[in-house]
Structure 1
Amino acid sequence: MAGNGNYHYSHIGYNSDRGKKKLWFIKDGCGVFCAGITWGLVFYAQFVVLAVLIIPNISKSAVYSTFNGLLFNALAILALTSHFKSMTTDPGAVPKGNATKENIESLQLKPGQIVYKCAKCFSIKPERAHHCSVCKRCIKKMDHHCPWINNCVGEANQKYFVLFTLYIAAISLHALIMVVIHFVQCFDTQWQACSIFSPPATIILLITLTFEGLLFFLFTCIMFCTQLHSMCYDETGIEQLKNEKHYQGRSKWLNIKSVFGDKFSYDWFLPFYQPVTAKQDVYQYIV
């Protein structure tokens, strides 16, 4: 959509929900279930890692157990925090019902210029925004709706989603490495000395953790690479599927900075900090 003028939400009434700092949450049964499953699987992995792989080895190697226990739990906290932020951050929802006569007139359209209006949520639709049938809102720069975070991945929460996939992949790989080391160390010894559980229970726990780790590692690695490509080329998943070309001429580095923040720092890798980016008039209402 080519535009002849730039207009921001200050022109048409910005989302009042953001000003009140309300928690963003989508009331979708499937999404809530998938998000709960995600947290449950992470807690299960923490239980197996601590009860089977860490605690029994403290007497043998305190340094190994302490280091891996702290590392795994730190990555798990970062992963769950990233998930929580992805789920409870407004992804860039356009205010509902703002396609009023007064708001459209405030755009001061010239003869021949038009605005796009969403027929489902009755909002003035910015460029690159798409309507989500689950969120029931138009989402700016919407990539896709992810049931695992019970939210859309959009302009305002993409950083948290990328960190979520990164840290889930990291703890999955870490768990798989510790499982392999545990099997090697206990192969020639009695299993009773390698676990506080019985040998059959230990094997079941480790096999389940291995299957979970492999599945999540492959899935999140694919998602992370997909999101990295999306950021570098400033092209959302929906735009790729619909073959909608959008080109701004920015470098890949600037495109990544538009998601994580204008200044590179450790904040990029922490989900506790909201990315600080320069305001750019990239959404145009009129054509």
Structure 2
Amino acid sequence: MDEVESGYGTMHETGAGKIIVKSARRPAEDTVVIVDCTPFCKRLGLMWPEGQQLWFVKDICGVICAVFTWMLVGYAEFVVLFVMLIPGTSAVYATVHGLLFTFLSTMAVSSHMRTMLTDPGAIPRGNATKENIMKLGLKEGQVIFKCPKCVSIKPERAHHCSVCRRCIRKMDHHCPWVNNCIGENNQKYFVLFTMYIFLISVHALYMAISHFIGCIGQEWRGCGGFSPPATTVFLIFLIFEGLLFGIFTVIMFGSQMQAICSDETGIESLKEHATWEKKSRWLSLKSVFGHPFSFTWFSPFSTPRIGKTESYLYTV
């Protein structure tokens, strides 16, 4: 008699394949809201991918961090446009840098929204039932694992998130700044978010330092529509913000790219020895950003085409 982990307790499998449930357990209260926008968008005549659902984690800390992130991007946009570019600069300089900064900011916020509102690769809660396990077509003696916290069939390389209260496929970590886990389905958007935040930080630093030096050289004559003390405060805070988030995001971007290229998530690098066959760097990149390579790799509005799902990512 082979013992098998089930969704609601321990099962025993006999030679005839009969499974008996011995005990029961229910998953903890859900913390995720999943909304299907397809009917609403169809009524409004809007384009919406069929079956695409919005995912939102009900975590007050994550919500505060996400809103704070938007506020910081909005502050940078305000200072760049209304303190440095629009008042007292040439039309060409203001247009070029204004459009570039606005483009990068839009891409950063869009990447953040896609990361936050995309299902990271969650396993359905409570799916480790007798019926679902039978559907897997397991061979005699084959062992599967269940998560005792969310009561789900746990595929290889899936890990439980205590905030989302679900097992997440290829979970790297839970990030409060995007109020979501970083996993199989949204890692691309998180990488783009860190990249675009780093780029706008560098751009803002360059413009803020140049503007500050120029204003000192002109003794603050014609340096914007604000008083010299107010302009100084705006610029100093923007420089501090650019340095802080530039350093933070370039570190996160580097760690994510290293994890993708090594085909090993942050959690796996700390807790496990690889039991799966690792892909090459190029195949690992395509498994996150899509196949084949195109400029859509850099767009948060494009859902990556992954191709055939690996066998270890089974769900029922």
The reply to whether TM is greater than 0.5 is yes
Equivalent in the alignment of 2:252: 223
Does 2:82 match 1:51? yes
Distance 1:188 1:98 in 2: 68
TM-aligned CA deviation for residue 284 of structure 1: 5.8
1:33-58 CA-to-partner distances (Å, cap 9, x unmatched) read 00000000000010111111111233
Offset, 1:251: 1.6
Give the equivalent residue in structure 2 for 1:206. 235
Larger RCO (CA within 8 A; separation ≥ 6): 1
- SS of the residue corresponding to residue 181 of structure 2 reads strand
Q: Does 1:126 align with 2:126?
A: no
The correspondence for 1:35, drawn from 37, 48, 66, is 66
Which amino acid in structure 1 is aligned with residue 68 of structure 2?
I
Larger radius of gyration: 2
Q: Of the candidates 256, 263, 274, which is equivalent to residue 303 of structure 2?
A: 274
Of 3, 6, 25 in structure 1, the residue corresponding to residue 56 of structure 2 is 25
When the two structures are aligned, how many residues end up with a matched partner?
A: 269
- Assess, with a 3 A threshold, how the Cα gap between structure 1 residues 40 and 284 changes in structure 2: closer, same or farther: closer
TM-score normalised by structure 1 residue count: 0.90
Deviation at 1:204, TM superposition (A): 0.6
Question: What's the counterpart of residue 259 of structure 1?
Answer: 288
Does the 8 A contact of 1:91 with 1:140 survive in 2?
A: yes
As a proportion of its length, which structure holds more strand? 2
Instruction: Label 1:246 to 1:166 Cα distance change in 2 as closer, same or farther (>3 A).
Output: farther
State the one-letter code of the partner of 1:56.
P
AA aligned to 2:119 is D
Aligned pairs for 1:151-170 (under 5 A) are: 151-170=180-199
Q: After superposition, give the CA deviation of every residue in 1:33-91 in whole Å (9 maximum; x if it has no partner).
A: 00000000000010111111111233xx2111110000000000000000000000000
Shift of the alpha carbon at 1:157? Answer: 0.2
CA distance in 2: counterparts of 1:225 and 1:284, whole angstroms: 26
Q: For the residues of structure 2 that align with 1:91 and 1:285, how far apart are their CA atoms?
A: 15
Aligned-pair CA distance for 1:247:
4.6
3-state SS, counterpart of residue 234 of structure 2: helix
1:111 to 140, 145, 162: 140
Question: TM-score, structure 2 length as denominator?
Answer: 0.82
Runs of at least 4 residues off by over 6 Å: 16-19
Residue identity matched to 1:87: M
The letter of the residue matching 1:140 is R
1:100 aligns with 2:129: yes
Partner Cα distance (2:301, 2:314) in 1 = 32
**Residue deviations 1:178-223, cap 9 Å, x none?**
0121123222213141121111111111000000000000000000
Q: What secondary structure does 1:193 align onto?
A: coil
Amino acid at match of 2:53: K
The answer to whether the Cα contact below 8 Å between 1:86 and 1:149 also exists between their aligned partners in 2 is yes
Q: Contact 1:126 / 1:285 at 8 angstroms: preserved in 2?
A: yes
Unpaired stretches in structure 2, ≥5 consecutive residues? 1-33, 37-49
The residue that corresponds to 2:261 in the other structure is 232
1:5: which partner in 2? none
Deviation at residue 277 of structure 1 after TM alignment: 1.2
Aligned equivalents of 1:244, 1:129: Cα separation in 2: 14
* Cα deviation, residue 109, structure 1: 2.1
Q: Distance in 2 between matches of 1:250 and 1:100?
A: 32
In structure 1, how many angstroms separate the alpha carbons of the residues matched to 2:111 and 2:137?
41
- The answer to whether residue 91 in structure 2 is matched with residue 62 in structure 1 is yes
| Counterparts of residues 147-186 of structure 1 (less than 5 Å) | 147-186=176-215
Q: 1:37 to 1:133 in 2, by over 3 A?
A: same
Contact 2:88 2:222 in 1 (8 A): no
The answer (yes or no) to whether the contact 1:192–1:198 under 8 Å persists in 2 is no
| Larger fraction in helix | 1
Q: 1:190 to 1:284 in 2, by over 3 A?
A: closer
Does structure 2 conserve the Cα–Cα contact (< 8 Å) formed by 1:57 and 1:65?
A: no
* Residues 284 and 173 (structure 1), Cα distance of their counterparts in 2 relative to 1, 3 Å cut: closer
How far apart, in 2, do the equivalents of 1:94 and 1:111 lie? 24
Q: Is the 8 A contact 1:261 1:276 kept in 2?
A: yes
Superposition CA RMSD, Å: 1.7
Distance 1:23 1:142 in 2: 19
| Equivalent residue in structure 2 for 1:144, among 156, 170, 173 | 173
Q: AA paired with 2:56?
A: F
Amino acid at match of 1:141: K
